[in-house]
Structure 1
Amino acid sequence: MDAFLYRIKAAQRDLIERCGGIMRVVEKSGYSKSEVGRWNNGSEPDLMPVGAIAMLERDCGQPLVTAVLAETNGRRLTDPDEARRAEVNVLTSHAELMRHSAEVANAIAVAISDGQVTPSEATTVDRLASGLERAASDLRQALAVIKASGGAKAGLKIVGGE
């Protein structure tokens, strides 16, 4: 498989996870457990049909596979949900970004510690990178809301201060 297929397979796996796992996707989509399992398995070449992608992305509210397809063609999706952007807090988003960044750094360190990155280790790092990517997107959304509103108080308080 080429890099594009690995990205699509990772997006499919993330989509299945965010929709509640293999069994819930089976119930929701009407596809068999083995078919959904092949979509979820990075070693299998099976790709989701467009109808299943649309239905599952609508179910979880995140265009994970569609975003990969857009990126492949030099495009980026925008989030039309203003309420979601307004709810994202810059401090919380920053903390999540740092947490995910540390998890990715740790996984990379473990993977390269023996001088060899296995496909299993690459899958682990890729899963963590997906969370990092989502956290970075949330932070960017929070910053966009701040820019659009002309600024915002950081909400930081000194512990023990009056």
Structure 2
Amino acid sequence: MTRRNWKSWVPRSPAEAMEGCAQRALDKYNRGIERLACDHLGQHNASSLYKWMGNGRLPLTLILPLERACGVPLITRYLAAAHGKLLVDIPTGRKCQAQDVQQLQTVLNNAVGALLAFSDGKQSAGQTLDEVRAGIETLAWHHGNIQQHDHPQLELGDPDDE
């Protein structure tokens, strides 16, 4: 089984998004369901979170705390994709590093590879759309970063963000 690319993976349902949040929190921060429910969502036990994950009906007020606890906005990403929208991090106008350009090149190369694999019938439409969406979002971030270059902003993000 290959590792999931959390930066570009788009869940296909609310339940899948919540399961992805739980898996990411466990993999990255060693936060299990009980700890997520009690420490981050303010619940008395994990039974409510299990129920919400099962039926995909997490209360709106708990979406941000759950995404914060896992470090990736998977539920928000699902909602944006369901409405045909892209989710782009707010550019800060900081100077690009070589690593940023190399990441862009990798994401775009993966998108082109996915298009070729799809046209050959070797890859599903969903996987191809995820790769193309990741390429467009990365290019959009660079576009906004260049626009913001003359007026750089403070980077107020989480230091654990990837």
> Hey, which of these two has a bigger chunk of helix by percent?
1
TM-score (norm 2): 0.49
Q: Larger relative contact order (C-alpha < 8 A, sep ≥ 6)?
A: 2
TM-score, normalised to structure 1's length? 0.49
